[in-house]
Amino acid sequence: MLTYVLFAVAYLLGSIPFALIVGKVGYGIDIRQHGSGNLGGTNTFRTLGKKAGFIVTIGDILKGTIAASLPILFGLEWNPLWFGIAAVIGHMYPIFANFRGGKAVATSAGVLLFCQPFVFVILLVVFLSLLFTTKYVSLSSILTAISGVIAALFVDDTPFLIAISVLAIFVIYRHRANISRIINKTEPKVKF
C-alpha cells in the first residue's frame, strides 16, 4: 500500500507547476499565455527573465530529486528511478495544470542528480557545451538526452539504462514541435 501512495506522491510532486506559480505570484501573469505557453524553465527564462527562470529550473530539478529519494526515505526496496519517472510524468502531465506541463528536461535531470550524480555532472557539461555552441535549448536538450543513453551503456546498471532510455524518449517526444522548427529554421535561439 505504501508503495502505491509514494508513487502517487512522486507524481504529485512532479505535478507542481513552478512556472505557473512563479508567474502568477511573482509577476501576476499566467505563463501559459506567453511565449511558447510551456510550463518549463526555458519559457520562463524567455518570458520572465533570468531570476524567474533559475527559480523554476531549480524547482523542477528538485521535484525529480525528491521524488527519487522517496523509496530510500521510507525504506522501500524499490529502485528510486521508477519514482523519479513518476515525477517526470507528473511534470509533463500535471494534474494541477490541466495536464499541460513541461518538456521533462529539468525534472529528468533531478532524477539523475539523485540516482547517478556523476552522470548528471557529465550531462550538465554536455548540455551547457551544446547550448553555447548551437544556441538552441531544444536541440541541446535532445542531444543531451541521447548522450545520457550512450553514457548509461558504460554504467553496469540495466535498470538505469532502461530508465534513462525512457526519460530520453520523453524528452525527444516532448520536443517534436521544436524539431520541426529547427528543420524549418524557425526555432528561436538563446541570446547570452
Q: What is the pLDDT of residues 128-174, one digit of tens each?
A: 999 999 999 999 999 999 999 999 999 889 999 999 999 999 999 99
Q: Within 10 Å of residue 40's Cβ, how many Cβ atoms?
A: 28
* Length reported for the chain: 192
Q: Tell me, rounded to whole angstroms, the distance of Cα 159 from its chain centroid.
A: 19
Average pLDDT over residues 93-102: 94
Helical ranges in 49-136 per DSSP H = 50-73, 80-92, 105-115, 117-134
In the prediction, which pLDDT does 156 show?
87
In the prediction, which pLDDT does 36 show?
85
In the prediction, which pLDDT does 191 show?
82
Beta-carbon contacts of 115 under 8 Å, excluding residues fewer than 6 positions away, are: 68, 80, 81, 84, 160, 163
Q: Is the pLDDT score of 192 beyond 80?
A: no
Cα–Cα distance for residue pair 146/130, rounded to 1 Å: 13
Is residue 157 within 8 A of residue 138, CB to CB? The reply is no
**144: which 3 cell numbers?**
543531451
At 9, the pLDDT band (50, 70, 90 cuts) reads: very high
The position carrying cell 505535478 is 15
User: Mean pLDDT across the chain, nearest whole number?
Assistant: 95
Beta-carbon contacts of 32 under 8 Å, excluding residues fewer than 6 positions away, are: 20, 38, 39, 97, 100
Note the pTM of the prediction, 2 decimals. 0.94
Average pLDDT over residues 90-110: 96
Cα–Cα distance for residue pair 143/190, rounded to 1 Å: 16
In the prediction, which pLDDT does 37 show?
86
The position carrying cell 540516482 is 115
Residue type at 181 in one-letter notation: R
Average pLDDT over residues 165-191: 94
Cα–Cα distance for residue pair 12/62, rounded to 1 Å: 13
In the prediction, which pLDDT does 81 show?
97
At 15, the pLDDT band (50, 70, 90 cuts) reads: very high
